[in-house]
Chain A
């Protein structure tokens, strides 16, 4: 057993840290998220040049063939920098599907993903389904070798920037059956695809996506028809592992910032960090953070395990991260007092991102239930 990082992994971390230092201070980030584009294409290109968009892909596919630990390092550092460019959406989630796709699909799509020429988004959520990945009304009906896609997906993260979507759709069965779900690659420029784009609370962007008689041929289908549920669960768990890493990055900044603030902010003739009630709160924040780091390592090391073990690991980690995100986010604002309420301080921006991570791919309640059902 060994929890240390290799030299290469430390080097990777340093590379990302200097990328963020150079390109992503708080003011630059503000400019990016307030721009109409909402992200920086230059940054995306730079991430590609650093090889980061190829982290999880095999060398054959043009990637670096790194493990989940490297993905964890990237996501954690991006969490510290509050990076809005859609790394997890494109590389971890859509990349997770694509690296298990057919040879032909990998050859067709991965080069443009890894080179930064295409951004990808996963359209899975539907208004009626909440966090249930199998509750799908979007339908893909087959005639001959072709499919016709109809229905609506909601709050599709990164979709405004994406050229390609991966869409979960029902090819057979009832609305919440686990069987009968298929995955399709959809070009956003296809006839019948329409979006309503908007910014999100955490400085990112998302879309409402509608499909109206969108024609797809069989080369768009990932894996077997009707059999995608297990793959969706797997990739969702990998995404959760990366979101946990992003969250601990954000938590670490909030904890450091808060301790620093309480050392310097003086009231009643002394630093407020001298007050025991605040000390204990910061100690609890610190303990929550340490447990979150540990659960993040745990899930990232268990992604290769059998479905049930992996799923429990992901749900367990997400429960811990959701609870800690709430506690640390809220406490950081509280301990910064009125300043914590302002848009000009970074604290609120980290708090917002952590609040959104709580919901993404299921909140604490959802994953606690899932964990219990699997136990």
Chain B
């Protein structure tokens, strides 16, 4: 057991830094720094992902046979840490880290050939069709149905909270293919072309008030949408197994690198925030103690993550322990956002209507303050999405503690 980097690791770290310096342009930084919900324009995300693709680093978690870079655990750690430290955009997860692992494990050879290369190269934007208005935490009760019409399925129903669906070319969907006593046994996993006739995407405006077309989530409506049979993944009515497999990837990320970034930004804010009497917030021990309590908890999470991920090889999933990461990662993120709002004091109050669209309008108060309250408000979603944290605790108690 040791924490040391060898010379190769140090060289790799410098290589990552050099890459960021060249590829993460000032223009991108400016745009992202004004984003209220962490997303930027589609163009920015595609451009960034293509530069990672060309470097061979777009999918650190993919096995080499499918185009993964074959990073060691240490390299992966360095890579994520450097990316987060620089505030680089996160890769959009729906293709790369959600549907791709499912296709690798359960897809046909044809499906792998058809979809994986375009996911790797960001030629196709994916979104996720899981939740429905009546099926949130109780996902298995979903009603969006796909009827067997011989050579195709006919899909009718709706999906909600569909992140960035306005950009998407494809959606992977959980659909009901039969009514069974156990609702889990009648679900299938379908890949649907978003250009199919009968699909309607409507924006949902959230608390951060990012206006369309910069909204984060949507409701997607399906009316008599024809989906070719070949777009079924795995077996009919076995979709629940694949859905759960995917969820462990959705939840099983490392959170700590971006949390450290949040802590560092918060420290900078505290150094810049005057509290009267010639003092700054960083001199206020009440605040600093809260900040450091947070940092210690982030470190605890970081080492949980390192222990878990170092035991895995590329393409392997975390298992139910992913729920630990999801709970702690999202709750710490919210805590940092909460302290950030606290730090900026009265500057938490001015509204920013547009997201990264109004890049030329001067900010009210310090520029860094503009996105802090919207991010805090928007951040409340993280303990709700991908299975609420109440559900995550149920999973841990059942699947880990055996209660």
Known: A130-B273, A365-B287. A341 touches B381 (CB 8 A): yes
B259 → A minimal CB distance (Å)? 19
**A-contact 0/1 string along B318-353, CB 8 Å cutoff:** 000000000000000010001001100111111101
Which of chain A's residues have a CB closer than 8 A to the CB of B131? Answer: 338
Min Cβ gap A315→B in Å is 14
Decide if A343 touches B273 in the complex (CB within 8 Å).
no
A201 touching B380 by the CB < 8 A rule? no
- List, in ascending order, chain B residues with CB within 8 A of A272's CB: 137
Shortest beta-carbon distance from B152 to chain A in Å: 31
Interface set, chain B 195-214, CB cutoff 8 A to A: 204-207, 209
User: In the bound complex, what is the Cα–Cα distance between A296 and B41 (angstroms)?
Assistant: 46
For residue B364, CB closer than 8 A to chain A, the reply is yes
Q: Name B122-154 residues within 8 Å CB distance of A.
A: 131, 134-138, 141
Q: Give the distance in Å from the alpha carbon of A129 to the alpha carbon of B345 in the complex.
A: 10
Pair B136/A337 contact, Cβ less than 8 Å: yes
Contact residues, A290-345 vs B (CB, 8 A): 326, 330, 333-334, 337-338, 340-344
CB of A251, distance to nearest CB on chain B (Å) = 17
Binary interface encoding of chain A residues 248-268 relative to chain B, with 1 for a CB under 8 A from any of its CBs, else 0? 000000000000000000111
CB of A369 within 8 Å of the partner chain? yes
Residue pair B274, A128 in contact (C-beta under 8 Å): yes
Residue of A whose beta carbon sits closest to that of B138: A267
Query: Which residue of A132, A342, A355 is within 8 Å of B277 (Cβ)?
Result: A132
User: Is B355 on the interface with A (CB-CB < 8 A)?
Assistant: no
Cβ-based interface call for A208 (8 A) = yes
State which size class the interface on B falls in. 35 or more
Known: A267-B136, A356-B348. A348 touches B277 (CB 8 A): no
**A199 in the interface (beta carbon within 8 A):** yes
For residues 202 through 247 of chain A, which have their beta carbon under 8 Å from a beta carbon of chain B?
Answer: 202, 206, 208
The answer to the question of B172 belonging to the interface, with a C-beta cut-off of 8 Å to chain A, is: no
Q: Once the chains bind, are B338 and A326 in contact (CB under 8 Å)?
A: yes
Using an 8 Å CB-CB cutoff, how does the interface string of B57-68 with A read, 1 for contact, 0 for none? Answer: 000000000000
Asked if B161 is at the interface (CB within 8 A of a chain A CB), the reply is: yes
Nearest Cβ on chain A to B228's Cβ, whole angstroms: 31
A326 to B274, CA, bound (A): 24
In the assembled complex, how far is the CB of residue B276 from the closest CB belonging to chain A, in whole angstroms?
A: 3
Known: A176-B276, A201-B351, A344-B205. A208 touches B364 (CB 8 A): yes
Question: Which of B2-10, B21-29, B307-315, B383-391 lies on the face that meets chain A?
Answer: B383-391
Residues of A near B135 (CB, < 8 A) are 267
The answer to whether A365 touches B342, judged by C-beta atoms less than 8 angstroms apart, is yes
| Interface set of A (CB-CB < 8 Å, partner B) | 125, 127-132, 134-135, 154-155, 175-176, 196, 198-202, 206, 208, 266-268, 272, 275, 277-278, 326, 330, 333-334, 337-338, 340-344, 348, 351-352, 355-356, 359, 363, 365, 368-369
Q: Are A340 and B276 in contact (CB under 8 A)?
A: no
Question: In the complex, given contacts A134-B276, A175-B277, what are 8 additional A-B residue pairs having Cβ atoms less than 8 angstroms apart?
Answer: A196-B364, A198-B350, A199-B350, A199-B353, A338-B161, A341-B217, A342-B204, A365-B284
The answer to whether the Cβ of B365 comes within 8 Å of any Cβ in the partner chain is yes
Quick one: given A267-B138, A341-B207, are A127 and B287 in contact (CB under 8 Å)?
no
Question: Do B349 and A341 have beta carbons less than 8 Å apart?
Answer: no
User: Chain B residues in contact with chain A, CB under 8 A?
Assistant: 131, 134-138, 141, 160-161, 204-207, 209, 217, 273-278, 281, 284, 286-287, 334, 338, 341-342, 345-351, 353, 364-365, 373-374, 376-378, 380-381, 383-385, 388, 390, 393
Known: A127-B274, A128-B276, A348-B377. A365 touches B364 (CB 8 A): no
Are B346 and A201 in contact, CB atoms less than 8 angstroms apart? no
Question: How far is A132 from B276 in the complex, measured between Cα atoms in Å?
Answer: 6
Task: Check if A352 sits within 8 Å of B365, measured CB to CB.
Answer: no
A348, chain B: closest CB distance, angstroms: 4
In the assembled complex, the CB of B265 is this many whole angstroms from the nearest CB of chain A, namely: 19
B345 touches A130 (CB 8 A): yes
Offer 26 A-B interface pairs, CB within 8 angstroms, sorted by A.
A129-B276, A131-B275, A134-B276, A155-B347, A176-B277, A176-B278, A198-B350, A201-B349, A202-B349, A206-B349, A208-B364, A266-B134, A267-B136, A277-B393, A338-B136, A338-B381, A341-B380, A342-B205, A343-B206, A343-B207, A348-B207, A351-B377, A355-B377, A359-B349, A363-B345, A365-B342
Is the CB–CB distance between A268 and B377 below 8 Å?
A: no
Residue ID in chain A nearest B350 by CB atoms:
A198
A267 to B136, CA, bound (A): 8
Looking at the complex, which one of A268, A278, A343 makes contact with B138 (CB distance below 8 Å)? Answer: A268
Within 8 Å CB of A267, what residues of B?
135-138, 141
Cα A369 to Cα B286 in complex, Å, equals: 9
CB nearest neighbor in A for B209: A343
Cα-based distance from A206 to B350 in the complex (angstroms)? 8
A135-B277, A341-B381 as given contacts; A154 in contact with B346, CB under 8 Å: yes
B206 touches A341 (CB 8 A): yes
Give Cα A278 to B394, complex, Å: 13
List the 4 closest A-B pairs by CB distance, nearest first.
A132-B276, A135-B276, A267-B138, A128-B274
